[in-house]
Amino acid sequence: MNTTAFSLFLGIVAITLIITYFASKRTKSTSEFYTGGGGLTGWQNGLAIAGDYMSAASFLGIAGSIALAGFDGFFYSIGFLVAYLVVLYLIAEPLRNLGKYTMADMIAARFDDKKIRGVAALNTIAISTFYMIAQLVGAGSLIRLLLGLDAVTSIVIVGVLMTIYVVFGGMTATSWVQITKAVLLMAGTFIISLIVFAKFNFSLTEMFNHLKTATPLGEAFLNPGNKYKVPLDTLSLNLALVLGTAGLPHILIRFFTVKDAPTARSSVVYATWIIGIFYIMTVFLGFGAAAFVGADAITAQDKGGNLAAPLLAQALGGDFLFAFISAVAFATILAVVTGLVLSAASAFAHDFYGHIIKKGTATEKQQLKAARWASVGVSVLSIILALFAMKLNVAFLVSLAFAVAASANLPVLVFTIFWKRFNTAGAITGMLTGLISALLLVAISPSVWDPAGKAIFTGEALFPLTNPGIISIPLGFIGAIIGTLLSSKSDIKKYTEVMVKANTGI
């Protein structure tokens, strides 16, 4: 075991526990639990959004994909960033003005209906759980490789930590863990990128020239088409990436942590700068790993290329840099799963318990208690699911989460804000068609079925694309439209109120 890595891991655990200790003193009410009291500045929330968003899949996954497949790996970086324009232009401000604690709050601001709240909460839980299983399974194999702990122990450690942060520190702890992680991740990536760039004498031309001959792909490395060979699948992936972010519940709840819509706006702008700079640096990580570690050495450690970034750190800066980058990866995982636990727990406690079971009559004390128990429940469930899924290839669950978010949530969020005629029936059919079609299409896709047994089941896939977005996203919109038109109900008066609130915050 690498002792530096081990002590840095302990250091991160210590910092986050100290944050949680102080946060717990400030978490006495439901509002503090769900939103941290709504007092973050735009800059702080921007960092927290970045910390919530840039998962290990981004940091390790994209670096590995670029190192192994060149240009195609960069598609994720672009999609993950441009997605923030959808958040900024269409969603962030109306969401802040209409919602209170959860995504369902915003839709319920227009349609005060238990069924809608229930379906919206179900989507939140589904998306957060898929995402979390992928992160936890990834955490297991990562920590095993970095620290030598076995995968079960690693998953349990990460699971216990995320539970502690959320149960005791609520949103305040979550925000500051995410801010800490964002700073560490940016620092770590910047250092590596700088060293890589220096090795090429700070010349992009020299770097690109070198990469033409440095990999087994030869000149093709720099061209698109090494990884994504089916055009429709590429488009489908890109569609889910760019539209999914604006429907991810754990990102959406971050907008309730600021005081008003203009602050929500400025936090997206800060986040977009940070996230954009980070994704530009993924090119340096990927190219660096391809040039200084080499494709063979990367795949020898992990077939998916997930260790490209830590291996690059070792090649450039020896054991210390390796330990530091490994610790950054650990912090990255912790911050993301913490945000996911909180979003799923708030859907359980605020939407299901508070509004559907208790019909809004629960006392402050009962609500807070429910929120804490829901967090424990969500964590335990995810840990168990992750332990079962440990041996499976679950990387596709991240893109599934984006596809469900884009298909089930985004159409309804957009129509709630912009479409006058939209009604309860449309919201329910839209969310359900989006959710069910995305899940079904993935269940019969090559991510789940492979004739050679490389996926979960052995056999031919019925649906040819790995990403369902290109079918399920239009279906989500069409479902919402058809549901609306088939029902004669429409409530123009309520829309007037929602329109005024969404746009002015009055």
Segment 280 to 299, residues that bind other proteins, using CB under 8 A: 280
The residue within the footprint of other proteins, chosen from 13, 82, 194, 478 (CB under 8 A), is 82
DSSP 8-state assignment for residue 422: -
Stretch that binds other proteins, among 30-38, 67-75, 98-106, 354-362 (CB under 8 A): 67-75
What does the alpha-carbon distance between residue 343 and residue 51 come to, in Å, rounded to a whole number?
15
Contact 349, 121 (CB under 8 A): no
Which region, judged by CB under 8 A, interacts with other proteins, from 78-86, 128-136, 296-304, 365-373?
Answer: 78-86
95: tokens are 């969401």
Dihedral sign from CA coordinates of 363, 369, 370, 375 = positive
Residue 180 near residue 15, CB atoms below 8 Å: yes
Query: Does the protein bind other proteins through residue 304 (CB under 8 A)?
Result: no
Binder among 33, 168, 279, 402 for other proteins (CB under 8 A): 279
Contact pick of 2, 41, 266, 299 for other proteins (by CB under 8 A):
266
Which residue in this structure is represented by tokens 């041996």?
A: 391
3-state secondary structure string across 298-367: HHHHCCCCCCHHHHHHHHHHHHHHHHHHHHHHHHHHHHHHHHHHHHHHHHHHHHHHHHHHCCCCCCHHHH
Alpha carbons 204 and 14: distance in angstroms, whole number? 40
Query: Contacts with other proteins: how many residues (CB under 8 A)?
Result: 49
CB of 441 to other proteins, least distance (A): 19
The answer to whether 196 contacts other proteins (rule: CB under 8 A) is no
Q: What are phi and psi of 450, to 5 degrees?
A: -140, 130
Q: CA-to-CA distance for 415 and 446, rounded, in angstroms? A: 32
Nearest CB to other proteins, comparing residues 274 and 441: 274
Give the closest residue to 380 by CA, choosing from 155, 56, 168, 102: 155
Q: Which is nearer to other proteins, 363 or 503 (CB)?
A: 503
Please, what sign has the CA dihedral across residues 152, 153, 156, 161? negative
CB of 315 to other proteins, least distance (A): 23
User: Is residue 273 within the footprint of other proteins (CB under 8 A)?
Assistant: yes
363 is a contact residue toward other proteins (CB under 8 A): no
- Residue tagged 């429709």 (tokens): 232
Coil vs helix vs strand at 487:
coil
Provide the minimum distance between the beta carbon of 211 and other proteins in the complex, in angstroms, as a whole number: 8
Decide: is 74 part of the binding site for other proteins (CB under 8 A).
yes
Nearer to other proteins, 90 or 444 (CB): 90
Binding flag, residue 276, other proteins (CB under 8 A): yes
DSSP state letter for 44: H
- Give, for 450, the enclosing helix (H) or strand (E): strand 449-450
Q: Is 28 in the site for other proteins (CB under 8 A)?
A: no
Kindly tell me which of 84 and 324 has the beta carbon lying closer to other proteins: 84
- For other proteins, give the closer residue by CB, 409 or 429: 409
Is residue 324 near other proteins by the rule CB under 8 A? no
Interaction mask 463-482, other proteins, x per CB under 8 A: --------------------
Residues that bind other proteins (CB under 8 A): 71, 74-75, 78-79, 81-82, 84-86, 88-90, 204-205, 208-209, 212, 222-225, 228, 231, 234-235, 238-239, 242, 262, 265-266, 268-269, 272-273, 276, 279-280, 493, 496-497, 499-501, 503-506
